[in-house]
């Protein structure tokens, strides 16, 4: 038996394969760098590339990053896994430095015909005055919404 699966969609663009499985290296930070709630590490850029865009289908795109909101900051992503740092969350911002909230579309970005690159930044943010050491990992799936 062979099962074949697929779909035909009316999407404005395709997602470049280099954007589908990325690892963004946030780095290593000392607990002492987080002295109060809201302290943030340097922002690490990453992007989602869209190709073969047809702006007659849609001219705007937004990205939704799925994940769990942090208990200490609903606009940031909760860290995952056993041994995760305490009172630290992942913050994603768009190219205009606006927060991308877990499970909500980012600000829309205007598409051009052909290739497009949607730019974002990731950082760690303290969600309390007291931080405890641990891993700082988040895995998120993303979805492109066109309008």
- Annotated domain spans of the chain: 33-146
Residue 15 has pLDDT above 70, yes or no: yes
Average the pLDDT over each of 6-15, 76-85, 97-106, 121-130 and give the range with the smallest value.
6-15
pLDDT score of 21: 85
pLDDT score of 7: 66
pLDDT score of 5: 67
Q: Could you tell me the pLDDT band of residue 58, with boundaries at 50, 70 and 90?
A: very high
Give domain 33-146's CATH number out of 2.60.40.10, 3.90.226.10, 3.30.565.10, 2.60.40.1090: 2.60.40.1090
Q: Could you tell me the pLDDT band of residue 107, with boundaries at 50, 70 and 90?
A: very high
pLDDT mean across residues, the chain: 93
Q: What is the DSSP string of the chain?
A: -----------S-EE-HHHHS---------GGG--STT-BPPPEEEEEEEEEE-TTT-SEEEEEE--PBPSS-TTSEEP-STTBPBSEEEEEEETTS-B--TTSB---EE--SEEEEEEEEEEEEESSS--B--B------EEEEE-
Quick one: what percent of the chain has pLDDT higher than 70?
95
pLDDT score of 17: 86
pLDDT score of 30: 95
Q: What is the pLDDT of residues 1-12, one digit of tens each?
A: 576 666 666 789
């Amino acid at each position: 038996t062979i099962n074949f699966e697929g779909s035909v969609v009316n999407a404005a663009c395709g997602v470049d394969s280099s954007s589908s499985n990325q690892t963004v290296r946030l780095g290593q930070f000392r607990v002492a760098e987080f002295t109060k709630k809201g302290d943030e590490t340097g922002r690490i850029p990453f992007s989602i590339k869209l190709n073969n865009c047809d702006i007659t289908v849609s001219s705007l795109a937004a990205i939704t990053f799925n994940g769990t909101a942090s208990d200490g900051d609903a606009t940031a992503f909760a860290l995952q896994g056993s041994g995760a740092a305490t009172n630290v969350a992942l913050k994603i911002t768009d190219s205009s430095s606006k927060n991308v909230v877990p499970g909500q579309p980012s600000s829309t970005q205007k598409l051009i015909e052909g290739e497009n690159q949607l730019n974002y930044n990731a950082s760690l943010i303290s969600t309390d005055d007291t931080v405890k050491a641990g891993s700082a990992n988040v895995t998120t799936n993303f979805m492109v919404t066109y309008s």
